[in-house]
Chains A and B, each alone.
Chain A
Amino acid sequence: MTYLFVGLFLFLMGYIVYFNVVKSKEIINSPYNPRLDSMADRVVRGTITDRAGNVLAQTHTGDDGTESRYYPYANLYAHVVGYSDQGKAGLESSENFELLTSNAFFPEKLKKEFKDEKNIGDTVVTTLDTGLQQAAYQALGANNGAVVIMEPGTGKILAMVSKPDYDPNTVSQNWEWLSGDANSSLLNRATQGQYAPGSVMKLVTTLEYMREAGDVSGYLYNCTGEITHDGTTIPCANHSAHGQVDLAASFAFSCNSSFCNIGLSLNVNKYRETAKELLFDSRLPSELPYSRSRFRLKSSDSSADKMMTAMGQGETLVSPYHMALITCAVANGGVLMEPYLVDRITNYTGTTVRQHKPQKYAQLMSSSEAMQIKEYMKDAVEYGTASVLSGQGYSAAGKTGTAEYGSKEGLNHSWFIGFYNPDNPELVISAVVEETDGGTKAVNVAKAVFDSYYGSMWE
C-alpha cells in the first residue's frame, strides 16, 4: 500500500518534470497567459533577424524610456514576422517567451538588476532568406496570393509571403481598418489560406493510382478534349484534345479527361487514406497557426464528385504551406523533414542559447514513389504545362494548377508546386496567385524566384 502511494507520487513528480521540460513552452505562449506581458516590465523585447543577421524586428528605446517596435522591411515580412501591438501574430507571437527572456551574460544581468535597468531579451535567428523573400514578394506583384519556399533536405522555411499585406510598423494606427478589412490583409494566406488545389491535386491522384495499379506503364487514354460520365461532362483546359496519353503525359499536360478517367477507377477509401498519409485532415507540423486541409470524398459520392476531386476541384481545400510540405517530401525521397522557421536563439550579443537541429517528421511516401513522381514533374517542365521553366541555366521540376473558385467568370486561382535542381533539390516552392486572368501565373512567380536564386549564385 505504501509503495502504491509513494509510486503514485513518483509518477506525479515525473509528470511535473515532463510537463516543465516538454509541454510548458507551448502552454505559456498561449495568448490567454497574462504573465508574459509582465515579463516585458523587466526585459527589453529581443530582436528577430533573417538567416544572415539582417534585422527583421527590433525594439527602440527612446531617451524617456518609451519603447517602440521597428520593422525595417515593413510590408515584406508582415505575416511571417507578425506584429506585437494590438495582440501578437506570426513569430512575434510564437516566440514571445524567447523574446522576453534574457540570457545575457550573468554578471551583466546582475549589474542591471542592481541599477534597476531592463535586461535585453534574446534574439530569434530565423531561417528566412531576404533575397528569396524579396524575389517572391516582387513576383507576386499587385496580386493577392501566397508563396512558401523551403529547403527540402532540412525543413528550413526560407521565405513566406502573403498578399494583401500590411505595414507592421503602423498596425496600431491602422488597426480599425485592418481588423475590418474585407480582403483580410491580416490573414497569413500561406498557412491559413484555404484554396481549391486545382491540378496540383493530380499529384495526389497520381500517387494513389500508382499504389492501386502497381504497374502504370500500361496506362493509355485517348483524350478528345472532354470526358462525359453519368451525364457530367468535364473539359480539358481550352478544350484541347491531348490524343493518346500515358500517365506521364497526362500529368505533364495536366489532362483533365485522363485524370477524371483515373478518378473513376479509384477505390475511394484507399484514396482518402493516401490523402490522410499526405496530411490532409490532419495536424501539420507548424510553428505558426495554420488551417487543416480537407479531403471530403466518400465512396457514396457521385461519379461527378469523384471526377472533380481527382482533377482538383470538388470539396478539397489546401493551404500553400501544406502543398509545400508534400512537395518537400517528393523532392526529399518521400521524407518530410520537420519544417521550421527558428534556426536558433542567441542572447543579444550572439552567443547561442539553443540551436534547432533538422529532424525527420514523417515518411509521406516511399522513396520509389517519390522518385517516380519527381520524373513526372520533370516531364511537366520539359514538355508540359510548366515549360516556361525549361531551357534556363538551371533545371527544375513542377506541377501547375488552375483552380476555378466559383463566382467570377474568367478569373481563376493559379497554382504551382515544384523544385529547383531536381537531381539534388535545393529549393521547394509552392505558390498561389488569386483571381488571375492569366497575366500572372504561379509558375511565373516560381520562375522569378528561381532566376533570382540562380543569379545570386553567380554574384
Chain B
Amino acid sequence: MVNVIVELFKYLMIFIIVMYAYSCFSIFRYRSERKRKATLRRQNIWMYLLHLMAFIILYLETENVTIIAFYLMQVVLFGVTIFLYTHLYPKASRLVVNHMCMLLCIGFIMLTRLNYTKALKQFAIAACAIAFSLVVPVIIRKVKWLAEWGRLYAVAGMIALAVVAVMGRVSYGAKLGFSVGGISIQPSELVKIIFVFFVAASLKASVTLKTVVITTAVAAVHVLILVASKDLGAALIIFVVYLVMLYVATRQPLYILAGLASGSAASVAAYYLFHHVKTRVVVWRDPFTAYDSGGYQVAQSLFAIGTGSWFGMGLFQGSPDSIPVADEDFIFSAISEELGLFFALCLILICVSCYIMFLNIAMQLRNQFYKLVALGLGTCYIFQVFLTIGGVTKFIPSTGVTLPLVSYGGSSLLSSLIMFAIIQGLYILREDEEENIERKKKEREKSIPERRKAGKGKEEKGKQRVRQGDLSVRGSVPVPDGIHRIF
C-alpha cells in the first residue's frame, strides 16, 4: 500500500516540478501584471504541494511522528519568509524569493530522507540565516560606502583563506574550514562574496592597466591560497568569477584570452604537480578502473543516476546511502536516483532561472559597482551549480563543491542566502534609481519650458549614451522592459 502511494506521488511530484520549472520561463511571456502575480502565487502552491507529498512519504516510510512537527515548522518558515520579503520589501523580486524557498524545500526533503539529524540542523541554520539575511537588503540600500572598501575586502578575504590554509581541519583530503565551539566554519564560502565586492570596488571606476594588474595580483593570491588548501572547487570559482567580471568591466577580449591561457597552463601544471588533481582527472576518465583508488565515489554516483533513470526509484526506494557525502557534494545524484532525472533536470532549470534573474538585475543597474556585484554573484552561483552537477555526472572532473541552498552545510547555506539577499537589495536599489531618475526628469520638465529646444536634444543624447554604456551586460537576455517592478 505504501509502495503504491510512493509510486503515485513520485509521478505527481515530477508533474509538479515540471509545471514549476515551466512557469519560471513562461512568466516572461505575460504582459499583464495580474497574470504574473497569479503565476507567482501558483508557484508557491506548487511548492507547498510538492513539499506535502514528499513529507507524507517520508512519514509513511519512517513512521516517525516528529517528522510531522518538522514538516509544519518548515511550512511556517517558508510562509514567514515569503510574507516578510513581500511585505517588508515589496520591490524585491518575488520570483527569486520563490526559487529560494523551492531550492530550500528540495534540500529539506532530501536531507530528511538521507539524514534526519542533519536535516534538523540545516533547518535551524536556515531559519537563523534567513532572519539575518532579511537585514541585508537594508544594508545594501542604506550603506552607501560599500563601494569604497575595496582594500578591506581584499585583506579580509586573504586573511580568512590564509587562516584556513594554515590551521584548517582536513576533510576529504582538502582543508576547508575549522571548528569554533563545535560549529565548523568554511570561510571560503563567504570569501566568494567578499571577493566579488572587492573586484567590483576595484574595477567600478577606472580600468587602467595599473588597477587591472593590482586586482589580478590579489585575485591570484586568493586562487593560490585555495589551491594550496586543496580546495580546487573554490579556487576555480574565484578564477572564473574574476575573469567574467574583468571582461565585463573592461570589454577587453585579450584579458579573457590571457586568463584562459594562463588558467589552462596552470591546470596542466597542477595535474603534474599535485597528486590529488591527477587523481580527480584519472577518476573522471574512468571511475571504474580507478574504483579502489578514489573512483568509487563517482562510480556510485553514476550507478545512482543510471538506476534512478527518468522517473527515479521513489523516496526511500533507492540506496543513495552508498554514495559518499550524498548529503553534500553528491546530493544531485541522490535526487536523481530517488526523484528521477526529469525532476533533476527541472532542478537545473530552476537554478538557471535564478541565474537569469541575477543577470537581469545586473543589466538594469546603472551604477557600475552594483552592476558588477550582481554579475559577479550570478557567475559565482551558476558556476558553482555547474561544477557540482557536472562533477557528479562525470561531465567534468569532480571538484567537491556543494549545490547552493540544497546541499547540507551551514557556511554554504548562509553564504547562499546572503547572496540571494544581496540580489534582493539590488532589486530594491534599482527601484530607487528608477524613482530618482523619474523624479529628476519631472523636476527638469518643470523647468524646461524656457529652454525647451536646447535642453531636450541634450537629454536625449545623454540617455542614449547611458544605454550604450549599459550594453556591457545588456542585450544578452531578452527581458521585457519594466519586468523588475513585478518580481
Contacts and interface: CB of A to CB of B under 8 A. Distances in A.
A, B from the same assembly: yes
Nearest to A24: B306
A312 B8 CA distance: 63
B417 to A, nearest CB: 22
Contacts of A25: 306
Contacts of A34: 303, 319, 322
B307 A20 contact: no
A153 to B, nearest CB: 34
A1 B303 contact: no
B26 interface: no
A114 B2 CA distance: 8
A16 interface: yes
Contact of A30 (B299, B341, B386, B394): B299
Contact of B393 (A1, A12, A35, A116): A12
A174 B355 CA distance: 61
Q: Is the interface of A mostly helix, strand, loop or mixed?
A: helix
A33 B305 contact: no
B310 interface: yes
Contacts, number: 102
Interface string B454-487: 0000000000000000000100110000000000
Interface stretch (A2-10, A245-253, A341-349): A2-10
A24 B309 contact: yes
A32 B299 contact: yes
Q: Is the interface of B mostly helix, strand, loop or mixed?
A: helix
A19 B393 contact: yes
Interface in B14-68: none
A23 B395 CA distance: 13
B379 interface: yes
B305 A20 contact: yes
Interface in B294-312: 296, 299-300, 302-307, 309-310
Interface string A34-74: 11101000000000000000000000000000000000000
Contacts of B344: 16
A1 B3 contact: no
B477 A2 contact: yes
B445 to A, nearest CB: 35
Contacts of A28: 302-303, 306-307
Residue among B306, B318, B322, B473 having the largest count of chain A Cβ atoms under 10 Å: B306
B244 interface: yes
Contact of A12 (B305, B395, B473): B395
A81 to B, nearest CB: 24
A141 B371 CA distance: 83
Nearest to B240: A5
B345 interface: yes
B305 A5 contact: no
B476 A2 contact: yes
The range of chain B's interface size is 35 or more
A12 B306 contact: no
A35 B305 contact: no
Nearest to A109: B7
Contacts of B309: 20, 24
15 contacts: A1-B379, A1-B473, A2-B359, A12-B389, A12-B390, A19-B302, A20-B310, A24-B305, A30-B299, A32-B296, A33-B303, A35-B304, A38-B318, A113-B3, A114-B1
Interface in B150-195: none
B386 A8 contact: yes
B368 to A, nearest CB: 16
B476 A3 contact: yes
Closest 3 CB pairs of A and B: A24-B306, A2-B476, A28-B306
Given A20-B310, A113-B3, A15 B305 contact: no
A13 interface: yes
A35 B318 contact: yes
A16 B305 CA distance: 9
A216 interface: no
A17 B345 CA distance: 9
B288 A5 contact: no
B92 interface: no
B218 interface: no
Given A1-B375, A32-B291, A35-B322, 4 more contacts: A20-B305, A24-B309, A27-B288, A34-B322
A19 B473 CA distance: 34
Nearest to B291: A32
A110 interface: yes
Contacts of A6: 352, 355-356
A33 B307 contact: yes
